[in-house]
Chains A and B, each alone.
Chain A
Amino acid sequence: AQSVTQLDSHVSVSEGTPVLLRCNYSSSYSPSLFWYVQHPNKGLQLLLKYTSAATLVKGINGFEAEFKKSETSFHLTKPSAHMSDAAEYFCVVRDNSGYSTLTFGKGTMLLVSP
């Protein structure tokens, strides 16, 4: 079985300050992990993915995430928030066995103030 816990339902930052969105996962097998972003009334867009290569993963728009097996975490960070980053972010796990289906967290809403 696999599951994802996003530790914050909402995160508020000021423009230009760092962003940290926290995610813990549970997986019976060696997992793949993803972060997706969803802007209002838009589809899901892949930010980055971890597929058992480098543990520090760089994605689009300056985001990155670090896979920490000992802590079962995959937190998403960005050094400096931009107003356009305001959206909902989903941490997703896929255990690489069986059906290889994606399991989504409940999401973290990122609010960016000027």
Chain B
Amino acid sequence: EAGVAQSPRYKIIEKRQSVAFWCNPISGHATLYWYQQILGQGPKLLIQFQNNGVVDDSQLPKDRFSAERLKGVDSTLKIQPAKLEDSAVYLCASSPTRGSYGYTFGSGTRLTVV
């Protein structure tokens, strides 16, 4: 079974630029999550999708962050404009349904904002 795919693996941008990350979850997984992991901290949930609908985006900084999951499969997370404090690893995860225990995490995208 293929895992959760994320790209790019690394990204360096200047502050105030925009950036986008892509995630392809495990086939058939209805629930998709984006987490932000700042160095030295545990991952923090940014947004959760159930199919193509948003379930929880209460911790997403909506003035600069946006995410979509068109057709309920792939997802894109965008930051515009980026700030220095956005430097982090952005993790995508998926699970079969919202209540299941089978979470699978991708390897993440490491973003550095200079």
Q: Which A positions have Cβ atoms within 8 angstroms of B?
A: 4, 32, 41-44, 46, 49, 51, 90, 92, 96, 99-107
Contact = CB atoms under 8 A, between A and B. Distances in A.
B105 A44 contact: yes
A107 B43 CA distance: 9
Interface of B: 3, 33, 40-45, 48, 55-56, 91, 93, 98-99, 101, 103, 105-108
Contacts of A90: 42-43
Contacts of B99: 96, 100
Contacts of A49: 101
Contacts, number: 45
B37 to A, nearest CB: 8
Contact of B103 (A46, A105, A106): A46
Nearest to A107: B42
Contacts of B103: 46, 102
Interface of B, secondary structure class, is: loop
Contacts of B101: 32, 49, 51
Contact of B98 (A32, A99, A105): A99
Given A99-B56, A100-B99, A101-B56, A107 B108 contact: no
Contacts of A104: 42-44
A96 to B, nearest CB: 7
B41 A43 contact: no
Contacts of B43: 44, 90, 104
Contacts of A105: 42
A4 B45 CA distance: 14
B45 A102 contact: yes
B42 A43 contact: no
B45 A101 contact: yes
A99 B105 contact: no
Contacts of B42: 4, 90, 92, 104-107
